Chain A
Amino acid sequence: MKALGLLLLAVLPLSAQSVRARLEGRVPASSIVAIDSLVRVAAAENLPTEPLIQKAIEGGAKHVSGDRIVRAVELNLDQYRQAQALLVRAGDAPPVTPAEVAAVVSARKRGLGAPVVERIVAAVPDERRSSALHAVADLVGHRFDPDSATALILEAVRQGMHGLRLLDVSNAAILEIQRGRTRAEALAAIRRDLPNVAAAPAPARAAVQRARRPVAATGREPSGP
């Protein structure tokens, strides 16, 4: 029996072995095979795999039952497929990268509707897309109208802003409503200021000097922007 187990282990792909090794002790043992299977399906479809593993580990850390963890991983896999289809529908040439798929799913989970995401995906080049999605999601999270928020961020992109600077645009608009302006006034004010929106302040020198590295940092690449 032990020999059979060793034989099976030997024929499994290395990635599958490492997935199971990472899940051992972190999720209920009964769910490991199902999660591993879902991760392999995702890899075969060129969908993100690391966020699926993270989702499973997160469920285990939160003491969620094995069934719910498997359901959550399945749900995420399904969302990735939908995001992949959305990207192709919006004009991306297949195969779309896992990072782009993950960015779209993140935006959808943050409350952006599919039409808004599709509009941004169709309008924004790849390297700016993730930041643009987060910037619009930030605004929608603060109850800005999705279409107006999208229009503001797309205008910022049109004026040459990209990357994390797009988050400065959403931050500036949120700051305006905290100062007492209506959302419409805030959007109009920031639109007038484009592209000269204040940049986010750098962390204080003391905070940087105090900073420490997490003991169990994985060192894996995070998702964008």
Chain B
Amino acid sequence: MNPIDPRVHQALDGEIPRDTLPPELRRQAERLEAVAALLAETPAIESVAARVMATVARPAPTRGRRLVRWFVTPHAIVLRMRPLWSVALAAGILFLAFFPVRETGPRLGQEEGVAQFVARFPDARSVAVVGSFNDWRPGSIPLEDVDHDGIWRASIVLPAGTHEYMFVVDGERWVADPLAGRYIEDDFGRENSLLIVRPTKR
């Protein structure tokens, strides 16, 4: 390293007049001033560390952007499968294509709906629903208590519209549906339950 004479420092800092320097030191001071001016004009070069930190600090791409990137980037998909399973899969697809799964249950007309009857009769041996939809014939629509918990149920296809009905318990006791919510005088001193069936489109 070439040491700078302290007098040159003093002259550059303005502590002593530059004229007091010997000619050689004065030229050295002028060269240093020229270099300093050149450095001031040159743009600052970003350091490697600064560039690395800028990259690290960049926010992570959003989930959507990652998803888009995943979709547009080629991937190798390897499906390992025994030939037997692939044959079975092909057979299954062919079966579904030629024999589509059919809706189970009744085919409903445009003006038909499904009425669900639910009643709690814990000690009953049988429960049936009778009404204007089955000519008031007891026994023609039995309810079922499959799990023997005293809750009797039936789902019945009926014409859309208004129907009057009652439950017949053990073939002799006529009871209005406590859950019906709608009741109408039966003209025999009691009330029928009233059901409004909405058309069910399938």
Whether A and B are associated in the same complex: the answer reads: yes
**How far does the alpha carbon of A186 sit from the alpha carbon of B165 in the complex, in Å?**
30
- Asked if B158 and A214 sit within 8 Å, CB to CB, the answer is yes
Interchain nearest-CB distance for A224 vs B (Å): 6
Which of A57, A174, A212 makes the CB contact (< 8 A) with B156? Answer: A212
- Asked if B134 and A208 sit within 8 Å, CB to CB, the answer is no
**Which chain B residues border A59 with CB–CB below 8 Å?**
188
Contact with B along A67-82 (1 / 0, CB 8 A): 0100010011000000
A217 interface residue per 8 A CB criterion: yes
> Given that A167-B196, A207-B116 are contacting pairs, would A217 and B134 also be in contact in the complex, using a CB cutoff of 8 Å?
yes
B182 interface residue per 8 A CB criterion: yes
B46 interface residue per 8 A CB criterion: no
Most buried by B among A76, A164, A207, A223: A207
Q: Give the contacts of B135-158 with A (CB-CB under 8 A).
A: 135-138, 140-141, 154-158
**Which chain B residues border A218 with CB–CB below 8 Å?**
133-135
**Which chain B residues border A221 with CB–CB below 8 Å?**
159, 161
Most buried by B among A58, A200, A212: A58
Q: Which A residue sits closest to B160, measured CB to CB?
A: A222
> Given that A218-B135, A222-B163 are contacting pairs, would A213 and B157 also be in contact in the complex, using a CB cutoff of 8 Å?
yes
- Asked if B116 and A141 sit within 8 Å, CB to CB, the answer is no
Interchain nearest-CB distance for B193 vs A (Å): 12
**Which chain A residues border B202 with CB–CB below 8 Å?**
208
- Asked if A110 and B156 sit within 8 Å, CB to CB, the answer is no
**How far does the alpha carbon of A75 sit from the alpha carbon of B161 in the complex, in Å?**
24
A62 interface residue per 8 A CB criterion: yes
Which of A60, A167, A207, A217 makes the CB contact (< 8 A) with B114? Answer: A207
- Asked if B114 and A211 sit within 8 Å, CB to CB, the answer is yes
- Asked if B155 and A216 sit within 8 Å, CB to CB, the answer is no
Interchain nearest-CB distance for B160 vs A (Å): 8
Q: Which B residue sits closest to A167, measured CB to CB?
A: B196
Which of B103, B159, B164, B182 makes the CB contact (< 8 A) with A141? Answer: B182
Interchain nearest-CB distance for A164 vs B (Å): 5
**Which chain B residues border A17 with CB–CB below 8 Å?**
none
**Which chain A residues border B186 with CB–CB below 8 Å?**
58, 62
**How far does the alpha carbon of A61 sit from the alpha carbon of B132 in the complex, in Å?**
11
- Asked if B105 and A54 sit within 8 Å, CB to CB, the answer is no
B162 interface residue per 8 A CB criterion: yes
- Asked if B161 and A213 sit within 8 Å, CB to CB, the answer is no
- Asked if B157 and A164 sit within 8 Å, CB to CB, the answer is no
A134 interface residue per 8 A CB criterion: yes
Interchain nearest-CB distance for B115 vs A (Å): 8
- Asked if B114 and A203 sit within 8 Å, CB to CB, the answer is yes
Interchain nearest-CB distance for A188 vs B (Å): 22
- Asked if B200 and A202 sit within 8 Å, CB to CB, the answer is yes
**Which chain A residues border B3 with CB–CB below 8 Å?**
none
Q: Beyond the given A54-B135, A55-B187, please list 11 additional residue pairs across the A-B interface where CB-CB is below 8 A.
A: A58-B164, A110-B194, A202-B200, A203-B113, A203-B116, A209-B103, A213-B106, A214-B157, A215-B141, A222-B160, A223-B161
Interface residues of chain B, those whose CB is within 8 Å of chain A, are 103-106, 108, 113-114, 116, 130, 132-138, 140-141, 154-164, 174, 181-188, 192, 194, 196-198, 200, 202
In the complex, the 6 A-B pairs of residues with the closest C-beta atoms, listed nearest first: A222-B161, A209-B105, A61-B136, A211-B155, A72-B187, A216-B140
